[in-house]
Structure 1
Amino acid sequence: MNSTVSKQFIFIGGKPILAYTIDAFEKSSLIDKIVLVINEAEIEKCKKIIVNKYNYKKLMKIVPGGKERQNSVFNGLKVLPSETNLVAIHDGARFLITPDIIDRAVRDAYDSNGVIVAMPIQDTIKETNSNKIISKTFNRDRLWAAQTPQVFPYSIIMKAHEKAREDNFFGTDDASLVERLGYEVDIV
């Protein structure tokens, strides 16, 4: 998206994208608290155009983000109480999320090591070598595009992030951090 405005602050229908996202989590019957992780330079803007305007009841804290997405998630995890049961990690710019999808992911996560929302891949996916010669075509019937929220027991996702930091490993999503510890993550 070509814009000088961060995606989550773009207005659609008179409302910032992030406000729609927070609304879905506010309406979810299985979400107790919300921690917003925002670029430090945009925290005051977030408070002014979203937090102060919409009076969210579940908003616990606003935390400054990190250099990479993974650092930002870790910053959010660190402010949660250690007795936290489950954590739903969501990209604030993904505003089409619904309370029903959130609730389904959270419900499924109670009996697992983690759950991610995902969509089946419709495109054919190719792997190439360094010369851009196709070396493999994947069976798309078994491929999924990872989305958010990604929901995990707090103890597992915190351990996964701590281990990734220790190993200087950067995953493409939170599930990849959990997977590398040997845990199975489900798709919903």
Structure 2
Amino acid sequence: MGKRTAAVVVAGGAGRRLRPKRGALRKPYLILGTRPILIHTLKKLSGSILVDEIVVVCHRQDIGRCRSLIKRFKIPKIKGIVAGGRERFDSVFNGLKAIGENIDIVLIHDGVRPFLSHDLIKRSIEVALRHGASLAAVPVKPTVKFVDKKGFVVRTLKRDLLWEAQTPQAFKRELITKAYKRAGAKGVRATDDTALVERMGHKVRLVTGSYDNIKITTREDLKLAKVLLKDGR
């Protein structure tokens, strides 16, 4: 492609739903198979010839653990390990500030989504190069209801127009940097990176993701992840 890509891996969540005991491991470091979830994710990204460098954003208290695991499992292409912020917005912003100056495309990915494919990485980058921003997503399967504050159904949403957002979310560097700077100046926060680009009036192109590309947030997710890993996903 002739362009350089940096992956910003967000692994700074407290993960309270998977961390009931005080002092227990945060979810990126829980073992899946024979290695931590985060290491599975980093191996997928570092194994792609399209990813030139990786910045890992983790909880400040986990920087030493993260650095040790990366060394132990010999993960290449690590540009830096930086401390996350109070919210996901702050963590991603810290990651963006740490990428190399010669980067053209930024791929933002959840550290607890270990089942992304090389094909999804490729398509996400290609679409971002063409359209400026891409979002991995899958069609919503269940019927979705829009309800009022009292819990009454207002209407049934058209399922064929609803997609569940995933990561990676890829952007031209100048676009996502501008979006974060503008949001930061205005005090705007979002849990989804593409939402900040949308606020600028820039259209985001969908890339079909995978139902296997789960985010491991609950104990049920972890059980499913073990099945997917066993099946060689």
Instruction: With the length of structure 1 as denominator, give the TM-score of the two structures.
Output: 0.95
Once the two structures are superposed, residues 79-135 of structure 1 have per-residue CA deviations (whole angstroms, 9 ceiling, x without a partner) of 123442000000000111122211111122110120011011001111111211111
Q: How many residues align?
A: 187
Could you say which residue in structure 1 is the equivalent of 2:142? Answer: 123
Unaligned runs of 5+ in 2: 1-16, 208-233
- Contact 1:28–1:100, Cα closer than 8 Å, also in 2: no
Could you say which residue in structure 2 is the equivalent of 1:95? Answer: 114
Once the two structures are superposed, residues 135-180 of structure 1 have per-residue CA deviations (whole angstroms, 9 ceiling, x without a partner) of 1221110110000000000100011111111111111300000000
Which of 22, 38, 43 is matched with 2:63 structurally?
Answer: 43
Could you say which residue in structure 1 is the equivalent of 2:210? Answer: none
- Structure 2 matches for 1:1-188, cutoff 5 A? 1-3=17-19, 4-48=24-68, 50-188=69-207
4+ long deviations beyond 3 Å: none
Q: Structure 1 counterpart of 2:165, which letter?
A: A
**Partner Cα distance (1:105, 1:2) in 2:** 29
Shift in CA distance, 88/54, structure 1 to aligned 2, threshold 3 Å: same
**Partner Cα distance (2:137, 2:87) in 1:** 22
Unaligned runs of 5+ in 1: none
Q: By how many angstroms is 1:77 displaced? A: 0.3
Alpha-carbon RMSD across the aligned residues, in angstroms, is 1.1
Identity %: 36
**Partner Cα distance (1:107, 1:31) in 2:** 12
Q: Structure 2 counterpart of 1:173, which letter?
A: D
> What SS does structure 2 have at the residue aligned with 1:37?
strand
**Partner Cα distance (2:48, 2:90) in 1:** 26
- Contact 1:29–1:103, Cα closer than 8 Å, also in 2: no
